[in-house]
């Protein structure tokens, strides 16, 4: 084999070996990005050493850390707020995202903590441009509950910005709740409602 052919083959082998790894990381599928987050989350929820009220703070911190790795709360907040998002400044957007994230933590983490080993089945994935849906089933006592994760491409990974459970969209649900408040009390009134709601969870008055 001539030297030129050997050199060409060497270059080809290098091109085949290394860029494929980089390309796979850059073009990770929505399911491939979501699955480790959900697996790590169920691992924490099933960890016996984190059970009980005495481990509440540590457990919540771990759960939120994992959720923030795979969920885009800013995009979720933007969609919940609708056109009002465009009418507020950057600091107000940051504050609303913080309040909305805390509300979701307060409302849903308690429900997550009732997890007792239910299996997640990854059923389908659809991608259109930078939007995607990963369809799963959560098996609970022989009943399969359909859960769809609505995702978007954010920089180098896919992030969840909405969850649809049995046909009910989390984002749309909050949109409808907030519309009446925004109509009557404007953005400032909605912020006050969220602050009071989050405060009620802290005091146990919800």
Q: How many domains does the chain have?
A: 1
Task: Flag whether 19 is in a domain.
Answer: no
Paired tokens of 74: 């800013």
pLDDT given at position 113:
78
Task: Flag whether 107 is in a domain.
Answer: yes
Task: Flag whether 192 is in a domain.
Answer: yes
pLDDT given at position 181:
95
d(CA 194, CA 177): 12
Task: Flag whether 142 is in a domain.
Answer: yes
How many Å is the maximal CA-CA distance in the chain? 81
pLDDT given at position 206:
55
Q: Which residues of the chain have pLDDT under 50?
A: 4-26
Per residue in 20-62, pLDDT (tens digit) is 333 334 458 999 999 999 999 999 988 989 988 899 889 989 9
d(CA 155, CA 196): 34
Task: Flag whether 161 is in a domain.
Answer: yes
pLDDT given at position 14:
36
Task: Flag whether 7 is in a domain.
Answer: no
Task: Flag whether 16 is in a domain.
Answer: no
Task: Flag whether 8 is in a domain.
Answer: no
If 0-12 CB within 10 Å is exposed, 13-18 middle and 19+ buried, where does residue 100 land? buried
Looking up residue 146, the CATH number of its domain turns out to be 3.10.450.710
Q: What is the pTM of this model?
A: 0.80
Residues 6+ apart with CB under 8 A from 59: 44, 50, 51, 113
pLDDT given at position 3:
54
**Angle of helix 30-45 relative to helix 56-70, nearest 10 degrees?**
180
The parent domain of residue 47 ranges over 29-203
């Amino acid at each position: 084999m001539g030297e030129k052919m050997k050199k060409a083959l060497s270059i080809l082998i290098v091109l085949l070996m290394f860029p494929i790894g980089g390309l796979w990381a850059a073009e990770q599928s929505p399911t491939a990005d979501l699955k480790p987050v959900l697996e790590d989350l169920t691992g924490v929820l099933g960890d016996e050493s984190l059970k009980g009220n005495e481990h509440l703070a540590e457990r919540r911190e771990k759960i939120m850390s994992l959720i923030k790795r795979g969920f885009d709360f800013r995009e979720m907040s933007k969609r919940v707020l609708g056109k009002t998002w465009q009418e507020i400044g950057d600091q107000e957007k940051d504050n609303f995202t913080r309040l909305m994230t805390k509300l979701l933590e307060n409302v849903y983490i308690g429900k997550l903590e009732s997890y007792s080993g239910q299996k997640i089945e990854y059923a389908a994935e659809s991608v259109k441009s930078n939007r995607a849906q990963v369809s799963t089933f959560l098996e609970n006592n022989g009943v399969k509950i359909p859960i769809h994760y609505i995702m978007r491409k954010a920089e180098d990974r896919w992030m969840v910005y909405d969850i649809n459970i049995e046909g009910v969209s989390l984002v749309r649900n909050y949109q409808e709740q907030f519309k009446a408040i925004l109509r009557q009390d404007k953005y400032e009134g909605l912020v006050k409602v969220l602050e009071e709601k989050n405060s009620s969870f802290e005091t146990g008055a919800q």
